[in-house]
Structure 1
C-alpha cells in the first residue's frame, strides 16, 4: 500500500513557484475584507449555468507515493463550447503593472484546477482565466489561455516531480518518527511521585479529545510529564502536532531540554522554537525590505533549499540552529522559523502565536488545528495575558500630533474629529478623572474606520518624505481597536482615563474566558498546567473551563520536613510600610547570620523593595546583596541568577519583585537557593482596571475583590515560594511576612505544607 500525502493545490503551487523577497512595507489591512467582497462581486456576474467555489480533488501516484490533491476553484464557467476555470485575485496594486506572465503561481493554481476538472470529466481541452480585481476600485483585468489535456497533465506531473524531494523527506521522517516513538521509554530511570499519574491523565485526555486543567507542584517535572504522553499520542496517530505555549523564555528552554532528553533516548521528532522577530533579527533595525536587508532580499528563492537542508540534518531546531542555517542560506531567521513551524511535529512558542488576534499564526488553518494539541505551560499567566490580547487602547496625544503634521490632507479632518472626541471625553470624565461605559460606541468606531481609510492613502504614498512613525503606530492602534470592537460583548467595558497631559481610551476585556474557549475549540485537546492553578475554580472560570473538562491536582511529592515555614505577622499594607520596615530588616539580619546561604526576598513593588534594600545595606553592609532592576535584558537576568552559586562561601541575598522575572520559571537547585522570603500577600496595586474587574465580577455573583485582587496576588506568592524546593534533596526556609496570613481566608490559600508555619 502506497503512503498517502494530502495537500492543497495552493500548497503545491506555492512550494514550486514561490519566489522573490520579503517586503513588509506598509500594505492596506483592509485588502483581505475588500478582497472577499471583490471575489463575490465578480461571482455575482456569473451566468446561471456557471458554478462558484467548486471543490475539486484528484489522486496522482509518483515514485511510490500517492498524492491526494484538493482545492476550490473560484469559478467554473460554461461559454459556448468552452469550459473555463476562473481564478480571481484581488490586489491593492495598480492593475496597469500586472501583465499576463507577472504571477506564474496564479496560472499554476488555475491550471491544476483545470487538470483536475478535465481528468474527472474526461475533457480533452480546457480554458484557464485569471481575473485581477482592484480591492478598492473594483477595476478588473482579465487574461485567458487555452490548453489541451495532455499539456495540463504534463504540467501537473512536473509540479509533483518538483515537490517529491520535500514530500519524500517528510514521509521518511514520519516513518522514522513513529517508529522511534513506539520504542521510546520515559527519559528518566524512574517517575517522580505523581509524574506517572499526571502523564497518564494527559494521555487519556488526548485520547478522548477532551481538555484538562492540571495543578501539579513545582519540582514534579511537569514539562516532561505533559510532553511525553503527547509525543506518544502523535506516534499512535491520535495527533499530527503539538504546540507548547509559554509566557517566558526560561520555560521555553525547559521544553527544549525535554525534547533533547527524549532525543538522547532515541526520539526522532522535529521540534521548532519560534523566537520574537526583534530578538532574532540579524540587522540593527527590524526593517523587512529587500533594499535594506540581504536576508529578506530573495528569501523565497532560497527557502525551499534551506528547509530541505535543515530537516535533512536536524530534528531539534532551537534559536541557535535556526540562526546557523539562516546565515548559511542567507534568509530571514524569523520567517524561516515560521516556515519550519508549519511542517514541524512540535512548535514551542509564546501564547500570542495562538491567542493574540493581531499576531496569531494565520497559516495554520482549522484542519491543521483539529489534529493538534495545545500544552499551555504556567497557565496561570494566561488570564492577564489574554485580557491584554483581547483589549485595545488609544492615546489622544497621537491624534493631536497627526492633526498638526497633516494639515493639508484628507487625513486632517478625521484626526481632528478624533482629537475632538477625546476632548469631549475629558470634559465628561473631569469629575472623577475617568469614565466607564459598557456599550460599544458606534460613532467612535465609525470615526476610527474613516481614519484608517485616510491613513492608508497617506501610508501608500512612497514618495512622502515626512517621518510616518506616529502615523503608522496610530494606524495599527486604530486597526486593533476596530478589530477588537468585533469581539465586544457584555464581558467588555470601555473607559477613558486622564493621565497627566494625555487621555487614555481603552476597550477592556474583563473576562477572557469566552474568547479563549472559542479558540481552543478549534484544537483537538488543550492542556492547562501550572504549579499554582489555585484556587482551581477561579482558573476554570477565567480560562474558559466547562463541566466536561477534566481536572487533576497532584499533591507535592516532597516531604514536609524539607521546608521550614515561618511567619512574621507584620502589616505590609501601603500606609504601614515605613513603620514596619525596620522589623523586616532586623528579621533579615538575624536569619542570614544564623543560617548562611543563598536567599531571595520578594516585594510587592520596586519602590518598596528599593526602600528596604537601601536601609538594609546601610545597617548591615557586610552581607552581600544584589537587586533586581527594572527592564533587565536576558544577559542581565542570567548574570543575576549566576550569582546564586552552589558553593558560595558567603551569604547572598537577592532582592526581587513579586510577579517579576525571578519569581517564576527559575530553577535554583540544591544549595543554589536556601531560603525565600515573601513580603506581603501579592495584591496588585489598586487601580482603575482592577476596580472595574472587581465591580464586574461582583455583578456576576462572585467575590469581585477576590477575582480582581486576592487570587492574582496569592498566585504570585505561591510562585515565589515555589522557587525553593525543586528536587527530593532540596531543603530550605520560607518566611512569609504579613499579618493577613493569620486569617482563615489567606491561610486557606496556602499550600497544605505551608500552613503549619511557626510565628517569629
Structure 2
C-alpha cells in the first residue's frame, strides 16, 4: 500500500487531521466500520486521500446528500489529481432525476426502464436486418421524429450511446465509441453537475457516467444509490463489482437514520384506495384474483372511516385488527394470501403500464407494498403501524423507527464503511443507534477553529418546555434574549422548534432594528427570501432570519464569511410527544435500557440544535455568536449529549446579563 502523504494534496495537516486520516486508512486496510465526529474545519473531505492510499484496488464509493457536498468532493479529488496523482479517475452519479434529459410523465426510473426496453427491442430488430449503428438507421430516426415528446417510446440518447457488434455468439450491444471516449474523459477531467447535459450532448448522461464509473477509482453517489436496496444492487451490477470490493464513505452521516427510515417506510391514503379500485376494474377478466382483491378495498376504507372518529392527529393502530377486518368474511384465510394475490396483480399492471408507455407508479403497486410491509410488521418491532389525519383525509403508514438492521446489513456486506459528520455526538449513542452490537471503531476530533473567534452562551432562564410556553415571565425573558442577540452586528439567524413557536415569537419581536425574514412553508418562496437575506452584506446591510430547526434554512447550507455572524436556537427542538413517539421510546428502551430514551427522543433534538449553530463558523477566519436558548441545555443529561467543545465553552447567561456579555465580546 502507498503512504497517505502520496495522496494528501496539502502542504501541512490541520490540527488532529493526521490522526483522523490514519484511522480512516486503518479501516480501509483492515475492513470494518469507523464513525468519525469531526467539527467543521477538521478537513473531513481529505479522508478520501487515506482511503485511496489503502484501497488496494478496491473501488471507493462516496455517498453524499446534496449537490454542495458533491462539489466539495469533486474539488478535493481534482486537487489530489493535480497535486499528487495525475492518473486518478473519479466520477459521480446524482440520480436519474437530475441526469435524464428525456421528457415524459411518471417516475423517471420506471420511464427509463420502459423506454430502454422498447428502444433496445427496436434496435435489435433493426440490427438483425443489418443496421448495426442504431443512430444511423433511417427507420429508427423516423420513429424518433414522429413520437410524442410527452410520452416517448424511444430514447434518442440511448440510441446514440450504443452500437451492435457481430461475433460468434451473435449480436452484442455495446457502448458506442463516442460514449466510451466521453466517459473516459469525464473520469479523467472535471465535468461539473451543472455542465453535465451540455457535455453529454446527444448521448445519455446517466449512461455516460455509468460507463465512466466502471473503471473509476472513486465514484461519488447520492444516499439513495447506497441505502435503497434495488438501486444499490443495480449500481453494483452496472459497475461489475462485488460488495466485498467496495470501501464506502458516507458524508454528513447524522442524516443517515432519517434517510434509511424514510426509504423503508410507506404510506397509503384514501385516494390510493379509490385509484386501486379503478385499476382493478380494468383487469377483471385478465388476471386471477382481481375480484377477490376488489372486495377487500371497501374494508380498508371502512377501517379508515373508523379511525376518523379518533381525536388524535397521529396514533398507532393495531395491525392484528387491520388483518381481521380485511380477512373476516372474505375469500382469504390470511393477510399473506391477500399479499400473494396482489403481488401477481401488481406485476400484471406494471407490465401493462410499461407497454402503454405509462411510467407512473400504480396505486395497486403502492397498495401491494403497503400490505406486504404491514404483514411483515406483525413480526418486526422496528416497524410501527400508524395513522395520520391530514385535513379530512386519513393516511395509513408503516413506519420504520430503527435503521440499525439495514445499516448492519450494509456494513457486513462491504469491505469497509466509514461515517463522517460534524455532528455525530455523542458518538457512543450514534454507534448504538446505527449499528447496535456490531463492532465499530469511533473517533472524536476536537474543534480546530480558534476559540477567540466565537462566543457560546446558554440561557439559564428561558425555555420552550410545554409547561412554560404560556408563562408571561418566560415569554418576556425569551423576547429580551432574542432582542439582545439581534443587536449583534451582521446577518443573524434565530431557530425555533416549530413553525407555530416561530410565528408566535415573530409576532412578539416586531421591534427588531434589522429586517426580519420569516421562513415560509413553500420551498420556492423560501429560496427567494434566503437569496435576498444573503445579498444584504454586499449592500452593507444586515437582517435576521426566523427559521425552524431541521427546516429549509437550518441544514445543508454554507453561510461562509459575513453571510451569517450569529445563530440562536430558541428551545430544545424535541419532536411532539405523541403515542407513536412513546412507542418508539419504549422500543429503544427495551433495546438499550435507559439510554434508549435518549437515543429515541433527545438525541435528534440535540442534533437539530447543533446543526443550526453549525451554519455560522465555516472557516477558521469566521467570527460568530452562538446561543443555546433553553435552560434544558444546561441539564446534565442534555449537556452530556452536546459535542465536547460546546460543553467546555458554553457560558450560562440570563436575559438580564446577556446584552452586556454580547456587547463586551464584540
Q: TM-score range by the shorter chain?
A: 0.7 to 0.9
C-alpha RMSD of the superposition: 3.5
Report the Cα distance in structure 2 between the residues aligned to 1:318 and 1:406, rounded to whole angstroms. Answer: 46
Question: Are residue 248 (structure 1) and residue 66 (structure 2) matched?
Answer: yes
Match 1:420 to one of 299, 312, 319 = 299
Partner of 2:661: none
Question: Are residue 609 (structure 1) and residue 502 (structure 2) matched?
Answer: yes
- Measured against aligned partners, the alpha-carbon deviations of 1:518-572 in whole angstroms (never above 9, x if no partner) come to 1221211100111111222221112115463211111112333322122333121
Report the Cα distance in structure 1 between the residues aligned to 2:573 and 2:19, rounded to whole angstroms. Answer: 31
Match 1:376 to one of 250, 261, 283 = 250
Give the number of the structure whose residues are more often strand, by fraction. 1
Partner of 2:123: none
**Secondary structure of 1:495's aligned partner:** strand
Report the Cα distance in structure 1 between the residues aligned to 2:88 and 2:355, rounded to whole angstroms. Answer: 49
Structure 2 residue runs of 5 or longer lacking an equivalent are 120-146, 164-174, 285-289, 324-332, 655-666
Deviation at 1:740, TM superposition (A): 1.3
Partner of 2:383: 493
Question: Are residue 282 (structure 1) and residue 101 (structure 2) matched?
Answer: yes
Partner of 1:348: 220
Partner of 1:301: 162
Shift in CA distance, 420/201, structure 1 to aligned 2, threshold 3 Å: same
Partner of 2:515: 624
Report the Cα distance in structure 1 between the residues aligned to 2:244 and 2:450, rounded to whole angstroms. Answer: 41
Match 2:489 to one of 593, 596, 603 = 596
Partner of 2:23: 201
Determine if contact 1:403/1:412 at 8 Å carries over to the other structure: no
Deviation at 1:676, TM superposition (A): 0.9
Report the Cα distance in structure 2 between the residues aligned to 1:702 and 1:274, rounded to whole angstroms. Answer: 41
Deviation at 1:210, TM superposition (A): 2.3
Match 1:746 to one of 628, 638, 641 = 638
Deviation at 1:310, TM superposition (A): 1.9
**Secondary structure of 2:268's aligned partner:** strand
Partner of 2:208: 336
Higher mean Cα deviation, 580-589 or 253-262? 580-589
Shift in CA distance, 279/484, structure 1 to aligned 2, threshold 3 Å: farther
Report the Cα distance in structure 2 between the residues aligned to 1:740 and 1:183, rounded to whole angstroms. Answer: 45
Shift in CA distance, 649/357, structure 1 to aligned 2, threshold 3 Å: same
Partner of 1:271: 90
Determine if contact 1:606/1:657 at 8 Å carries over to the other structure: yes
Shift in CA distance, 363/589, structure 1 to aligned 2, threshold 3 Å: closer
Deviation at 1:201, TM superposition (A): 0.7
Deviation at 1:494, TM superposition (A): 4.2
Report the Cα distance in structure 1 between the residues aligned to 2:604 and 2:490, rounded to whole angstroms. Answer: 30
Determine if contact 2:374/2:385 at 8 Å carries over to the other structure: no
**Secondary structure of 1:643's aligned partner:** helix
Partner of 1:732: 624
Higher mean Cα deviation, 262-271 or 526-535? 262-271
Give the number of the structure whose residues are more often helix, by fraction. 2
Report the Cα distance in structure 2 between the residues aligned to 1:216 and 1:481, rounded to whole angstroms. Answer: 42
Partner of 1:324: 198
Shift in CA distance, 696/545, structure 1 to aligned 2, threshold 3 Å: closer
Match 1:713 to one of 593, 605, 608 = 605
Question: Are residue 228 (structure 1) and residue 49 (structure 2) matched?
Answer: yes
Report the Cα distance in structure 2 between the residues aligned to 1:349 and 1:677, rounded to whole angstroms. Answer: 33
* TM-score normalised per structure 1: 0.68
Match 1:566 to one of 457, 469, 490 = 457
Partner of 2:407: 516
Question: Are residue 555 (structure 1) and residue 446 (structure 2) matched?
Answer: yes
Match 1:360 to one of 222, 229, 232 = 232
**Secondary structure of 1:726's aligned partner:** coil
Deviation at 1:730, TM superposition (A): 2.3
Shift in CA distance, 189/520, structure 1 to aligned 2, threshold 3 Å: same
Deviation at 1:200, TM superposition (A): 0.7
Report the Cα distance in structure 1 between the residues aligned to 2:299 and 2:359, rounded to whole angstroms. Answer: 22
Higher alpha-carbon Rg:
1
Shift in CA distance, 614/295, structure 1 to aligned 2, threshold 3 Å: farther
- Measured against aligned partners, the alpha-carbon deviations of 1:249-293 in whole angstroms (never above 9, x if no partner) come to 322222222112223314332222222322333245355436426
Shift in CA distance, 378/363, structure 1 to aligned 2, threshold 3 Å: closer
Higher mean Cα deviation, 355-364 or 438-447? 438-447
Partner of 2:140: none
Report the Cα distance in structure 2 between the residues aligned to 1:402 and 1:408, rounded to whole angstroms. Answer: 10
Structure 1 residue runs of 5 or longer lacking an equivalent are 1-177
Question: Are residue 188 (structure 1) and residue 10 (structure 2) matched?
Answer: yes
Question: Are residue 398 (structure 1) and residue 272 (structure 2) matched?
Answer: yes
Shift in CA distance, 485/337, structure 1 to aligned 2, threshold 3 Å: farther
Report the Cα distance in structure 1 between the residues aligned to 2:39 and 2:361, rounded to whole angstroms. Answer: 48
* TM-score normalised per structure 2: 0.77
The alignment covers a number of residue pairs equal to 572
The within-5 A match list for 1:44-63 is: none
Deviation at 1:605, TM superposition (A): 1.8
Report the Cα distance in structure 2 between the residues aligned to 1:408 and 1:667, rounded to whole angstroms. Answer: 51
Determine if contact 2:32/2:440 at 8 Å carries over to the other structure: yes
- Measured against aligned partners, the alpha-carbon deviations of 1:86-125 in whole angstroms (never above 9, x if no partner) come to xxxxxxxxxxxxxxxxxxxxxxxxxxxxxxxxxxxxxxxx
